[in-house]
Chain A
Amino acid sequence: MRDNIISEKDVMQNQTAHPAKIAARNVQVYYGDTHAIKDVNVDIEANTVTAFIGPSGCGKSTFLRCINRMNDTIDVCRVEGDIRIDGEDIYDRKVDPVQLRAKVGMVFQKPNPFPKSIYDNVAYGPRIHGLARNKAELDDIVEKALRRGAIWNEVKDRLHAPGTGLSGGQQQRLCIARAVATEPEVLLMDEPCSALDPIATAQVEELIDELRQSYSVVIVTHSMQQAARVSQKTAFFHLGNLVEFGETDKIFTAPEDPRTESYITGRIG
């Protein structure tokens, strides 16, 4: 018995030692008859920020939502292929998407705090997953999450004020705090700054860079400057294909594919 546990642990360690946190192979996504994602292969590393860029409708958000199976909520959507997190197939029949989403947090395009207090917004995840045994522990988790969301100092005096009363940028950082409160390993961000002004955007970007220490962050963005600023790896999607994937510096300075070059230089998109 004991040996088994140890060997399992070894396997785990081997897997986490593997650079790819998320490995996608031959992923196809269909919306009804539309083939939205075509044969995408990508390896996303731990403790890196990976940016997905590309013109509207290229499938980058769709692919992002495959990673925590948010596409399951769309009836007509069908995913084929293989996405593994730490070597485990997340589309395996035994995987409960609810458990997966606790491990893979998500921040959405529009800040969407619950119409509850700031405290309850952050405490909701830990509560439903039973992460805190008592009120004091929950308080700690909430404080830690709000600190990580770089919003603690602004809201610590009004934790019981409604989350919807914050400014747009604060709301988005609150949503990030809410997402990290459940201790995820991967953080997916779907255009997190598109509804924010430049100052709020700068704050969120700074935060993303800090979050890299603890999480593997995947961010979809329309802004190439943002991708260049925050990410280490960049993937360029075009018409459902992953055209190019590599180090951000390289994508922006010496793209291999002519389509990437056209997009980056502003000729398409």
Chain B
Amino acid sequence: MTAPLLEVTDLRTHFFTRAGVAKAVDGVSFSLAPGEILGLVGESGSGKTVTGFSLLGLVDPPGRIAGGSIRFDGRELVGLPAEEMRALRGQRIAMVFQDPQATLNPVLTIGTQMTLALQAHGRVSGRAAAERAGAMLTRVGIPEAASRLSNYPHEFSGGMRQRVAIAMALLNGPDLIVADEPTTALDVSIQAQILAEMKTLAKESGTALVWISHDLATVSSLADRVLVMYAGRIVESGPVGEVLRAPLHPYTRGLLDSLPAMAEPGQRLRQIQGAAPSLLALPPGCPFAPRCARASDICATPPPAVERAGRLALCHHPLDAAA
């Protein structure tokens, strides 16, 4: 077991709004080894994006990291001065966002943007920067890369734009990339191309990857381990195959059963009742209890962490025990 690249312990990112404190991330712990691909799965409002943003120090007021620790390569990121965080961001930790349209500056050519990203973290001549940028575009599968450096973002298709965003993230050879729903806005055939390339790139360069997605199938085909989030907490974690084959947490089971691929065509899906609770008014104890078929009186108290050979679930009634 190598030393973890990233170790998150009891992370709490809260939003202090007028309506009350929204605990978007509430006690999240996980670690990531170099070169590992970690899938972070959850529905809207589960805190998966806020977790990703917290790693990069991108949480804006009224939100802030209210507690916990993020150790990256032995260094504590929580409370790191903004200057030092800036130096780290884009250099050793990079991010790919969902919408490449919003990530890229529409009035600068992508060559200029990539050069700026290189020069922000070291002395690089314009020519050397252009060369490195062109090489990186080729690597993410953009044809005639050198000539496309002078293009503006609007001259690329959605899939190509996301490739540019990925190339920019890879530019400084980061140790960790946080990718937030990077293929959600793309078509199936383009998504498959990008997934295949991400997998190869991560393997070749030894970059660790946190892949945030609502899509269990995408995560299952890409990630080594998976974290399932619900209402700001990780309710289940473990190797992706084991978790999806035999989930311990009723929520993970419910998510899987909600997928049309898991049912006979035309049959009713086994849906989860109700909707996710408001983060402003979480029920005491297990946040999933109001929607859970296995819930009992004890679920009104905080659920224990159940451990099973490298796997973890937060549940009073894990699925491998009698109800």
Asked if A and B bind, the verdict is no
